[in-house]
Structure 1
Amino acid sequence: MIWIIGGTKDGRDILEKLVDEKNKKDILISTATSYGGELLKKYTSNNKKNIQVICKKLDEEQMEKVITEKNINTVVDASHPYAENVSRSILKVTKKLGTKYVRFEREMLDYGDENVFKFETLQEMNDFVLKYQNKNILSTLGSNNLEEIKVMGEKNNLFVRILPTTASIQKAENLGYLPKNIIAIQGPFDKNLNLAMLKSFKIDFLITKESGKTGGEKEKIDACKEFGTTVLILKRPFVNYRNVYSDIDKLINHI
């Protein structure tokens, strides 16, 4: 059985390719949230390929249990580039058990140097932003980092773009974000929609991650360049992956 660690469009794309290929192995795909599971329904509704789904966060002990109980012989790590704890855990577990591990890593974008600042940590980014006041800031980091960046709104007007789920909106409200500063909408977005948001909220700084070419990142950056918005980037964490591929077809050929 092949285990795809998903929760990303990459994971769904790999699953779709495996379903289309003459793959005779059973497939397990995992995602940390029930929302991620909802996005997989189109692949599991007919379930001709015996696709199994796990919708919860797994610690190392649970990962080891999945591999042994499901008789997993190959793990495809297609987790988000910023889910480094997931990758480090599964790297450790697969090495311990001798299970084949393959990583899908998104290609990086060339952000250029004009109006672009990169930061190793959110604390560094906070320190940079707090030098300014009365700026309009749009965070596209999602709901996971709402608490860490909230300080930016002390001297500035901080908007947060998050998923339109009850959990995400509730988290933002519990942290004290006002409804007028919460943009709850499902991406990815084309350049024109990104541009419309930048113009509507007169955004001076846009916060993003080095997420790569998947998921509308290029369109977001292109909109910033056109409107003159400064881009603040949280750098991608370093993980010492094994067997890394940025091409899905080559990855599938390897497994």
Structure 2
Amino acid sequence: MVILVLAGTLEGRETALLLQQAGFAVTATAVTDYGCRLLQQQGLTGTLTGPLDEAALAAILGRGVQLLVDATHPFAEQASRTAMAAARTAGVAYLRLERPGAALPDHPLVYRARDLTTTISQALELGKVLFSTLGSKSLASLLAAAAPAGARVVARVLPDSEVIRHCRQIGLTPDQIIALQGPCSVELNKALYRQYRAEVVLTKDSGYTGGVPEKIAAALAVGLPVVVWQRPLLPYPLVLHSPAEVLQYCLHNLAGRPPGHQ
């Protein structure tokens, strides 16, 4: 029996490797070739690459998968909904690995927003130079709202050729694009905010792994407001918060446990 891990995050890769090292048969998925290379570099022997719709995922689950571990990004809402639906269709147990959120400081410059639309509208009330760390998928909506408001967008995005191409296609110029793999230190964040004359910072609550505390600390240090997009609330049937917790769950609940763990 196989454990399928949707390993789109650092925690997902760590979980897949931990389960494999414990003796479980593991298959780990990544949407991109880069993500797949990271899995293979960590020693994962079973990997799949590419996006999976509900039917494709259900078909994979039907080939001897005992447990689906959804370790996608906290804001990959559609991916999680697809995973839960596919697991129900295939009759496979589903487990959500959700990294803990960041502890947001109680500060007058820290604003919480429930969704992307609210995040953007709140930011436009606070400044005209929007420093976005929301990710490339949110940029089209951000630019569409910023242009009529006379606001300028600066976007920190992944240094990936497809991401950069997307940024250019939707209208960002090179001086609006910061291609940088995070997380970044407080000092580097402060330097970037100053260099690009940011007036408000936009971020998601992607947790400590996503560098949220450092982004907020840097903004407060230089007197900038921060708008934090809160995570979507989904009806997960079971949620765990660390690779170690997932391993213990598997050791105690799955049939065909590895030798030495009976």
Q: TM-score, normalised by structure 1?
A: 0.90
Instruction: Provide the identity percentage.
Output: 29
Q: Which runs of 5+ in 2 are unaligned?
A: 251-262
**Counterparts of 1:231 and 1:112 in 2: how far apart (Å)?**
11
**From 141, 145, 165, the counterpart of 1:170:** 165
Q: Is the 8 A contact 1:129 1:152 kept in 2?
A: no
Match of 1:183 in 2: 178
Per the TM alignment, residue 196 of structure 1 is displaced from its structure 2 partner at its CA by: 1.4
Per the TM alignment, residue 43 of structure 1 is displaced from its structure 2 partner at its CA by: 2.3
**From 67, 70, 73, the counterpart of 1:77:** 70
Q: Which runs of 5+ in 1 are unaligned?
A: none
Name whichever of 175-184 and 35-44 sits farther off.
Answer: 35-44
**Counterparts of 1:62 and 1:138 in 2: how far apart (Å)?**
37
**From 121, 124, 148, the counterpart of 2:115:** 121
Name whichever of 167-176 and 186-195 sits farther off.
Answer: 186-195
**Counterparts of 1:30 and 1:191 in 2: how far apart (Å)?**
32
Per the TM alignment, residue 215 of structure 1 is displaced from its structure 2 partner at its CA by: 2.5
**Deviation by residue 1:114-166 (Cα, 9 ceiling, x = unmatched):** 21112222222333334466x22110012111111113442122100111111
Match of 2:193 in 1: 198
Per the TM alignment, residue 174 of structure 1 is displaced from its structure 2 partner at its CA by: 0.6
Question: How well do the aligned residues superpose, as a CA RMSD in angstroms?
Answer: 1.7
**Counterparts of 2:12 and 2:240 in 1: how far apart (Å)?**
13
Match of 1:99 in 2: 92
**Counterparts of 1:141 and 1:127 in 2: how far apart (Å)?**
14
| Alignment partner of 1:56 is 2:50 | yes
**Counterparts of 1:180 and 1:98 in 2: how far apart (Å)?**
50
Letter of the 1:178 partner, please give it.
Answer: T
Q: Is the 8 A contact 2:123 2:130 kept in 1?
A: no
1:1-255 to 2 correspondences below 5 Å: 1-20=2-21, 22-23=22-23, 25-44=24-43, 51-69=45-63, 71-114=64-107, 115-131=109-125, 135-154=128-147, 155-255=150-250
Secondary structure in 2 aligned to 1:183? strand
Secondary structure in 2 aligned to 1:193? helix
Per the TM alignment, residue 77 of structure 1 is displaced from its structure 2 partner at its CA by: 0.7
